[in-house]
Amino acid sequence: MEPLQGAELCFPLLLNISCRKPLQHHAETTVIYIVLSCISVITVALNLLVIISISHFRQLHTPTNLLLLSLAVSDFLVGLLLMPVRIHLLEGCWFLGSLICGLFYYASFALTSASVGNMVLISADRYVAICDPLCYSTKVTSKRVKLCICLCWACSVFYNGVILNEFLLYPDTYNSCYGECVVIINFITGAVDVILTFIGPITVIIVLYMRVFVVAVSQARAMRSHIAAVSLQGSVGGISKKSERKAAKTLGVVVVVFLICFCPYFYPSLAGQDMSTSVAFSVFGVWLLYCNSCLNPLIYAFFYPWFRKSIKRILTLQILEHDSCDANIL
C-alpha cells in the first residue's frame, strides 16, 4: 500500500508534508493539455506577428498602432510565460519552487493590469480621434503615447509589487502542504484592487465608447443627409472620417471581447470571496482571461487589411528585402 500511497503524492519521499495529486482521467487530461498548448502557441505566434508588423513597417508607426503594439507585447508575454505555467498547474502539483511561484503570480497580476491600462489608453485615443478630430494630431503625438505606455507599464509593475509585497517576501505563507503554489489577498486589499484595476478602468472605457458611438452615429447621419452636395474635397474628408469610425468600431470589438474575457476573472472579488486558487483563479476564469490574448490579433486579422498584408510579407520573408520597411502596407 505504501508505494501506491507514495504515487498519489506530489513528492512521494515527503509523506507527511507533501500535497496529494488530484485524481485525473488521463485521456481527458491529455486532450486538455493538447488544446491549451495549441492556444499558447497560437497566442505567441499571432502576437509576435503583430509586434513585428508594427515595429518593422514605417507606415504603421502611428500613435494608435503604438498602443496596439503595447497590448500585443502584454498578450505575447501571457502566451509565452503564463500559459505554459498554467498548463503545468493543471497537474495539481507545483515543482518549480517558491521563488518561481512568487514571480509567476507577480507577472500574472502585472500583465493583467498592463492589459487593462492599455485598453484604457486605446479607448482614450479613439475618443479624441472621433470626438475631436481637428485637434487629434496635436493632442495625440507619438511622443506622448510612448510616455503614456511607459507610465502604464511602470504603474502596473509598481502597484502589483505593493499589493503582493508580503507574498513575494514569503511565498510559502498560504501553502498548506509541500508542492502547492497559492496566493490569497485579504478582502480590503482585494476590494481596492478590483476598484483600481477593474471597476474604475472599465467604467472609463464604457463611458468613452458610449460617447464615441453617439458621435459616430451623428457623423454618419450628417454624411448621408449631405451626400448629394459633397464635393471631391469633402469626399476625401468623408473617407477619412469613415476610416476613423471603422478603427473605432474595430477597437470597440476588442473592448467588448476584453470585457467578456475579464469579467469572470474578477467575479469572485466582486462577490466578496477571497482570491485563491480554488475560487478567483479557477481554471475557467483564468483561461478565459488568457484567451483574450489570443483573440485580439485574430480581431486585427479580420478587420485590418494592413495586418493581413504584413503577415503575408513576413511569412514570405519579404521583410528581409532591402527597404522593405518602406513598403506600402495601408
pLDDT in tens, 89-114: 877 788 888 889 999 999 999 998 99
Give pTM, 2 decimals: 0.83
The pLDDT score that the predictor gives to residue 272 is 53
**How far is Cα 308 from Cα 301, in angstroms, rounded to an integer?**
6
Flag whether 182 is in a domain: yes
The pLDDT score that the predictor gives to residue 79 is 93
The pLDDT score that the predictor gives to residue 286 is 84
Flag whether 272 is in a domain: yes
Phi/psi of residue 9, nearest 5 degrees: -100, 155
Flag whether 3 is in a domain: no
Q: What is the CATH number of the domain that holds 145?
A: 1.20.1070.10
The pLDDT score that the predictor gives to residue 280 is 42
Task: Average the pLDDT over 243-269 and give the result.
Answer: 71
121: confidence class by pLDDT, cuts 50, 70, 90? very high
Whether 80 shows a pLDDT value over 50: the answer reads: yes
Flag whether 16 is in a domain: no
Task: Average the pLDDT over 276-284 and give the result.
Answer: 54
The pLDDT score that the predictor gives to residue 145 is 95
Task: Average the pLDDT over 131-160 and give the result.
Answer: 92
Candidates 87, 32, 33, 75; CA nearest to 50 is 75
Domain that holds residue 106: 24-326
Flag whether 56 is in a domain: yes
Whether 326 shows a pLDDT value over 90: the answer reads: no
Whether 269 shows a pLDDT value over 80: the answer reads: no
Flag whether 259 is in a domain: yes
75: confidence class by pLDDT, cuts 50, 70, 90? very high
- State the residue for C-alpha cell 485615443: 125
* Count of domains observed in the chain: 1
Whether 38 shows a pLDDT value over 60: the answer reads: yes
Mean pLDDT of the residues in the chain: 81
How much of the chain, in percent, has pLDDT values that exceed 70? Answer: 81
Flag whether 111 is in a domain: yes
Flag whether 5 is in a domain: no
23: confidence class by pLDDT, cuts 50, 70, 90? low
